[in-house]
A and B are shown apart, each in its own frame.
Chain A
């Protein structure tokens, strides 16, 4: 973007400020500015390798920006002001920060040695130090919410991909996060299983959760997102309300990307 970055509104829950990231020689993110308001659903779209995952991981501090920084609720991710100096966060401080952020991975990453409900209870019991008798009803309620009350005692290997991903969402929600990050939560799923996961995400958005959603599901982005960001080559090329961005993209790159996606979907849907 050639325009100067918008002056971020102070109430932003997430702010990325000129975030840059390079892996050795390759520059993966270049001066990315982004802000997400509380309760907002932001969809991030863009071609493969454009840096969407890396951006999300920088926000979660699973990756550390090489320039710029991320703030969550005004708190700088990965560094704290200590007697006038910025110092790296301790392991414990990072852990505290992440308690408030839920992340849903493309490959679910459920704990295979625990049942569905044990997966959901693990955070509250081990991290929040809740008593099991308190954590279990909450976990059951969350499993019910994602439509898996009947699978509470199943191990992940006994669940379909869509079911595993819904357990993973419930696991994140059990920490009562104020922000949820989704990294292509449905790309590892068979087509017929995508709907059930998107439905859960839709419910979550309706309940007012602040969400950052990296997705290739344009229909979902258009319906659910308040704002869509298009990334390419590590930059934010364009952003705006979904209707405007999908109907009338102003950049040639965005147009080309959307056309390719629509073609592919049309092809997939053709008999």
Chain B
């Protein structure tokens, strides 16, 4: 009996899963793009460095849910009313930017300083050093944590249901209270998250293995 109900809900749930993927993609974009200048500022001197550090540390200390509330409900009295979906994308993206900024920084700083000096000594400019020496080496180290972040983000979009942003978890809550089948719906939705996250996790694991091999080769040479 409950199978029929679940089967009938599938189109709605799949639609909602699509929203989840959309939310994930948009937030990831914001985080990945915004993370870059943030990382550069953080590694640089002066006020930008301090501000970037402050931003990163704040984001690290504040729960994402609190951030979503702040953006969705908290800004209303100031005359800013966002749609729940947009508020979620912005909130997740802003906190993700802080995380990815640190990932970028770790990747860049993982490159031996001696190499940068060597490149400068053969007359390369700062930009050229970054492009031809630093980034090619930082990239393989940065990809696995980015993959891990993407998986975490995919799951974290479920938090958006708490501010009633339309996505998979919210749809599951609505349906489960409508038919009072919480166990069935939440297990089903858990399975759907699993199906979405699984390939990403495997891909990330592959990147990790490749990065580890790369490091090993680097040592041998």
A/B touching: CB–CB < 8 A: no
